[in-house]
């Protein structure tokens, strides 16, 4: 570690199979966490949408979960759920909740009252107002929440290498244990690249889902 | 084995609290390094944030700093600090942990200082200039006080992040509360693991709450009637 080039390209070239395997693992860990986290957040937001009083307790709980350091949360779960995918996912999912709930609610609350009134005047039921007016208008903030949650999760997945999961975090941990800089740099660069790739994909998805927002950009 | 019983027994044993590997020393180490890292991060990040915010230059730079900062895992920052300090001859333990924590804490503080100053109402700064304040006075008597809530928010967020990430310092042979977790993992000792998790979680929540109190104390009281 104290001399020689920072990255040993020969080593990287000889471990492309490992890189692919860890890429899949990292993407699956991230996708599961954000997917499950999103489903839970949507359910909780629908509850808050109906019963406003639930907002305080729900965000408070999500906030406490968010404040607990990831390593501490994983460590506290290991005696119960072991060094498993389940342990990793419980931790990862709980970190997405605060970000997603805050953004979904901010999006729904940002819909102007006049717009909802207009829909009601056109004979829309509350249910149709929610799904056909409020949700589409809230999409930019919902996607913004998904982007932050995904980038955060990609980073946190590396920590799960300590409980035998980890995706690219495996390289970082191995590099630390063997004092091998190449693996640390490789794990970091791949993790940042994966976060950036998913972020770009989410931006594209948002553009596809909100075609009306493009109309303003007429030259 | 009964986990809860084990944890209670661990915490009730006096020898686990004292000495170099005791809870007291490790907690103090953890708190001390957190305060030092956040203080150094403030010293590094606030002056350039103030200057660039005041002159209005470097907006794109500020945005990129926060985006890149978010994408680099804190675990990777700790890991990357190790080859760096070893090449510099600073070795294991304190230095890689300290450098990683400063690198982690500084970007959000810089960005919030910059945007905090930038978002001060232009009418206010123009009025201040009209009243004959120099550029320096505008910065320190108008922009800095108005930006202070944003700066404090970033310091709070960074401090909580630093408490969390200092735990990973145990991976590069530093002490602190992370030792219980990392040792607990390697010795497959559920009690030590759980005690470590408990202490670290408690310290994080207390750090967040503590900075919350400071924030409310220092917050401007809002518009008051003149006179």
**Cβ-based neighbours of A165, under 8 Å, separated by 6 or more:** A25, A29, A85, A88, A157
d(CA B58, CA B79): 29
Asked if B82 reaches chain A (Cβ–Cβ under 8 Å), the answer is: yes
**Residue A135 CB burial class (10 angstroms; 0-12, 13-18, ≥19):** middle
A5: left (phi over 0), alpha (psi -120 to 50) or beta: beta
Among residues B61, B31, B34, B18, which one has the least CA distance to residue B158? B34
User: Mean pLDDT across chain B, nearest whole number?
Assistant: 87
Residue ranges, chain A, pLDDT below 70: 1-4, 214-219
Dump pLDDT digits (tens) for B117-166: 988 888 998 999 999 999 889 999 999 999 998 999 999 999 998 998 99
The per-residue pLDDT for B185 is: 86
Kindly report the number of other CB atoms within 10 A of residue B151's CB atom: 23
Quick one: average pLDDT of B207-214? 91
Contacts with B200 from chain A: Cβ below 8 Å: 69, 71-72, 75
**Cβ-based neighbours of A25, under 8 Å, separated by 6 or more:** A165, A166, A167, A170
d(CA B171, CA B219): 38
Kindly report the number of other CB atoms within 10 A of residue A118's CB atom: 13
**Cβ-based neighbours of B40, under 8 Å, separated by 6 or more:** B98, B102
- CA of residue B130 relative to chain centroid, distance: 38
- Do A119 and A129 touch, CB atoms closer than 8 A? yes
Asked if B85 reaches chain A (Cβ–Cβ under 8 Å), the answer is: no
Asked if B165 reaches chain A (Cβ–Cβ under 8 Å), the answer is: yes
Among residues B52, B49, B3, which one has the least CA distance to residue A75? B3
Q: What is the ipTM of this complex?
A: 0.82
Kindly report the number of other CB atoms within 10 A of residue A32's CB atom: 16
Interface size between A and B, measured as CB pairs under 8 A: 124
pLDDT surpasses 70 at B14: yes
**Residue A174 CB burial class (10 angstroms; 0-12, 13-18, ≥19):** middle
d(CA B52, CA B170): 36
d(CA B201, CA B208): 11
How far apart are the CA of B191 and the nearest CA of chain A, in angstroms? 8
Query: CB–CB of B75 and A1 under 8 A?
Result: no
Query: CB–CB of A2 and B164 under 8 A?
Result: no
How far apart are the CA of A107 and the nearest CA of chain B, in angstroms? 22
d(CA A5, CA A76): 39
The per-residue pLDDT for B223 is: 52
SS (H, E, C) B146-157: HHHHHHHHHHHH
Q: Between the CA atoms of B116, B45, B34 and B210, what dihedral angle is there, to the nearest 10 degrees?
A: -20
Dump pLDDT digits (tens) for A120-179: 999 999 999 999 999 999 998 999 999 999 999 999 999 999 998 889 999 999 998 888
d(CA A138, CA A142): 6
């Amino acid at each position: 570690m104290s001399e020689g080039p920072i990255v040993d390209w020969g080593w990287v070239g000889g471990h492309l199979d490992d890189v692919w395997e860890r890429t899949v693992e990292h993407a699956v860990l991230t996708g599961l966490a954000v997917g499950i986290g999103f489903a839970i957040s949507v359910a909780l937001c629908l509850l808050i949408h109906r019963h406003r009083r639930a907002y305080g307790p729900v965000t408070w709980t999500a906030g406490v979960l968010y404040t607990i350091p990831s390593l501490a949360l994983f460590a506290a779960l290991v005696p119960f759920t072991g060094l498993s995918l389940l342990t990793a996912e419980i931790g990862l999912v709980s970190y997405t909740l605060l970000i997603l709930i805050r953004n979904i609610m901010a999006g729904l609350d940002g819909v102007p009252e006049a717009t909802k009134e207009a829909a009601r005047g056109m004979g829309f039921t509350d249910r149709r107002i929610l799904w056909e007016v409020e949700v589409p208008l809230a999409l930019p903030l919902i996607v913004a929440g998904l982007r932050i949650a995904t980038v955060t999760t990609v980073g946190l997945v590396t920590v799960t290498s300590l409980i035998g999961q980890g995706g690219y975090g495996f390289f970082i941990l191995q590099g630390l244990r063997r004092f091998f800089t190449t693996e640390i740099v490789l794990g970091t660069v791949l993790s940042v690249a994966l976060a950036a790739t998913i972020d770009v994909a989410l931006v594209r998805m948002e553009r596809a889902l909100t075609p009306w927002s493009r109309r303003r950009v007429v030259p | 084995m009964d986990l809860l019983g084990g944890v209670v027994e661990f915490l009730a044993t006096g020898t686990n609290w004292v000495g170099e590997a005791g809870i007291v020393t490790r907690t103090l180490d953890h708190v001390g390094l957190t305060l030092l890292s956040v203080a150094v991060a403030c010293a590094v990040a606030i002056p350039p944030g103030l200057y660039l915010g005041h002159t209005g230059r470097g907006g794109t730079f500020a945005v990129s700093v926060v985006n890149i900062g978010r994408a680099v895992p804190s675990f990777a920052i700790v890991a990357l600090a190790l080859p760096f300090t070893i090449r510099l001859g600073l070795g294991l333990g304190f230095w890689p942990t300290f450098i990683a924590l400063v690198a982690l804490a500084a970007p959000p503080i810089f960005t919030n200082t910059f945007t905090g100053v930038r978002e001060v109402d232009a009418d206010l700064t123009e009025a201040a200039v009209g009243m004959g304040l120099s550029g320096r006075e505008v910065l320190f008597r108008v922009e800095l006080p108005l930006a202070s809530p944003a700066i404090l928010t970033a310091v709070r967020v960074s401090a909580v992040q630093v408490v969390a990430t200092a735990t990973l310092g145990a991976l590069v042979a530093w002490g602190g509360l992370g030792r219980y977790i990392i040792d607990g993992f390697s010795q497959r000792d559920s009690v030590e693991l759980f005690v470590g998790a408990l202490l670290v979680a408690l310290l994080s929540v207390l750090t967040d709450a503590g900075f919350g109190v400071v924030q409310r104390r220092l917050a401007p009281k809002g518009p008051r009637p003149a006179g």
